[in-house]
Chains A and B, each alone.
Chain A
Amino acid sequence: MSPVHRPETVEEQQSYLRAGHSLRSWLFSTDHKRIALLYLISISAFFFVGALAAAAIRLELVTPQTDFLTREGYNRAFTIHGIVMVWFFLIPSIPAVFGNFLIPLMIGAKDLAFPKLNLLSWYIYVLGGIFVLYTLAVGGVDTGWTLYTPLSTQFANGHVLTIAAAIFIVGFSSILTGLNFIVTIHTLRAPGMTWGRLPLFVWSHYATSVILVLATPVLALALVLIAAERLFGLGVFDPKLGGDPLLFQNLFWFYSHPAVYIMVLPAMGVVSELVTAAAHKRIFGYVFVAASSIAIAGVGFVVWGHHMFVAGQSPYASVVFSFLSLVVAVPSAIKVYNWTATLYKGDISLDPPFLFAMGFIGLFVIGGLTGLMLAMLAVDAHVHDTTFVVAHFHYIMVGGAVTAFFGALHFWWPKITGRMYNLVWGRIAAALIFLGFNLTFFPQFVLGYLGMPRRYPVYPPQFQWLHDLSSAGASILGVAYALPLVYLVWSLRRGPPAPANPWEAFGLEWTVPSPPPKHNFDTPPVVTGPAYDYRLKTVRKRR
């Protein structure tokens, strides 16, 4: 089955970074590695925009009254923070950067199945970004990232249509990336790379891609219905015209709950890679961890009702959704305990990527279990729409997905750029992010139970000390997130050249030089053993 072997031209040997320096060779490249870098730059820009909005929110909450922002400004700040962070950073972050870069390398392929489609999805992402920046420039929107009707369709005076267009467009970028991954994983695996030998990073991206393809269109339709109602008066959500506002919530959450699994599943894939590389040992329970990714994708589709326990949904539906929300937590529990078991009797190195992985596991456990608290109907009746919920989803999305994103950045940076960074600074950044994060969001659990509603710029004076703690934590977090930008960019110039396998990790991506050549593999690899085959027993000397 293997094709005739073509002699390697010199150009093939050259790293993908040096295969063309012109702007045109970057902006029109169909090389999955270059597109990954284009995504890395654009999502970092949007991470900065979202972080600015978060800084404004935390600054405003230092005092009980509206001193820094007006109420109007605060409403627009948290809406832009939500929309930009969810759709323009979190959802594309790990799949579009590391999925694009690593999936072909990990399964032994030359590129994704549809390289031109991959470039098209980046341009669609940029187009969506332009719409968001335009909305920001002309004054933002004040409906919250959830765009609930009838507020968004009749009473909002912000620019709902342009933000709906932005999210609609960026949704298609996700669908096309998901489609590309599914087809690549099915049709382009190297000989010998059976499903049982796939790296867990690829398994989790496969599950994510299925959700991306099946859930995102529902959000697209919900946005079309909002536009139809605002422009043509087609009152599908307007109670006076026979519509039902709950229908929008159902459509929105039918997408948005699977969307939180789109954000966390890739992070779980990254952590599986980091934990095995840290422990220099096979993953504990490969089959369970791989199957739990698929289980999360499956059950994730039938739990969306737990966002609407107090929204006027029938109590019996709420009981069913509450039970299913317990079931969806089981695969996550399996993953966490299997990671912990992997570290047992390992040969654990404490380099920066592995500190991020351990940070992820700790914060994700707290996030997941507080999610179970929220799934308890009676508890949700008290803490729904309070800062308790804000803390819960930040523990999973920021404590989990963003920490894993930084872990992946620190793990594969030598492979992507061919340069090593300063490990001491990496450890400092990991510790600072963990501390800053806990200081920012743990007080919000307490505040939420005290009855502090979310999206409020004003609060009773007795809550001020908790808000100030949280704002202090946010400033540490701000600095901690800026640190990697400094020493990683610094490593581009000053960093020592990275060997092919700096962490002595197992995986096809570590068998090619860093940075990898344009066509990934000189000779198509053949896979013989199982994944993470760390049989070699040598005890590594301490770095």
Chain B
Amino acid sequence: MSTAAERLEPFDLRSQKRRADRFGMFVFLASEIMLFGPLFVAMAVYRVLHPQAAAETARHLNLWLGAANTALLLTSSLLVALAVLAGQNGRRRGVAACLLTAALLGVAFLVVKGVEYQAEYVEGLMPKIGPPSPIAGRAPTLFMSLYFVSTALHAVHVTVGALLLAGTGVGAWSRRLPLPKRAMTVEVVGLYWHLVDVIWVFLFPLLYLAR
């Protein structure tokens, strides 16, 4: 029953539908930006109100793991951008390879994040659980709270993104996703992943570079 026209449904032309999908995705990204927005506001205000406490507490964060994570995400963004290009030119294997590798880098990001959290747990930085905390006082505790909330929320987005990338990669590989007709699906998933990367690009300096 689902003829090609059917899937176009409200739109008459494919180009019209592609433009609408892309515009719709950017509107959704706007709402994602506003989801992380207040966290950036809180952190910027924090850095102004407690510059000394921020510098002191940020020393407990592992700068090199943070930098490595940034590099991981930037590289996976490149791979996703290449996948979108391959999708538009109908290269099924190229899309699958790039997307699956990018998903792997996403998983690597999560592993590195897990290592960081484990180190912080051992050091006692986690609020309720784990050994007594080496940092006392309200401002440092608040910094750690902001750190955990923002990185955890971001990690959830990375997990969802990695699953989407892997799903689309497998879809492209198994021809369930005909290219270049359905290349827009690759582009939309790519846009989501780029936003997850941009959010980390801002989180990294605000958190790790306060030292």
Contact = CB atoms under 8 A, between A and B. Distances in A.
A357 interface: no
Given A3-B12, A218-B38, A234 B30 contact: no
Interface string A3-42: 1001000000000000000000000000000000000000
A222 B38 contact: yes
Contacts of B204: none
Interface of A is mostly: helix
Contact of A233 (B5, B127, B139): B127
Interface stretch (A106-114, A265-273, A358-366): A106-114
A104 interface: yes
Contacts of A215: 34
Given A3-B13, A234-B148, A236-B149, A241 B127 contact: yes
Contacts of B9: 110-111, 115
Contacts of B20: 113-114, 183, 186-188
A113 B145 contact: no
B35 interface: yes
Interface in B19-33: 19-20, 23-24, 27-28, 30-32
B10 A111 contact: yes
A183 B23 contact: yes
A22 to B, nearest CB: 15
A218 B36 CA distance: 8
A535 interface: no
B10 A110 contact: yes
A214 B34 contact: yes
Contacts of A251: 38
Nearest to A182: B27
B10 A240 contact: no
A213 B12 contact: no
A410 B9 CA distance: 30
A25 B25 CA distance: 28
Nearest to A183: B24
B42 A241 contact: no
Interface residues of B, number: 39
B11 A188 contact: yes
Interface stretch (A47-55, A57-65, A224-232, A453-461): A224-232
A175 B31 contact: yes
A221 B16 CA distance: 34
A179 B30 CA distance: 10
Interface of B: 5, 9-13, 16, 19-20, 23-24, 27-28, 30-32, 34-39, 42, 126-128, 137-143, 145-146, 148-149, 152-153
Interface of A: 2-3, 6, 104, 109-115, 175, 179-180, 182-184, 186-188, 213-218, 220-222, 224-225, 228, 232-236, 239-243, 247, 251, 254, 524
The 10 tightest CB contacts between A and B, nearest first, are: A242-B138, A242-B142, A217-B35, A233-B127, A233-B128, A234-B145, A217-B34, A111-B10, A3-B12, A187-B20
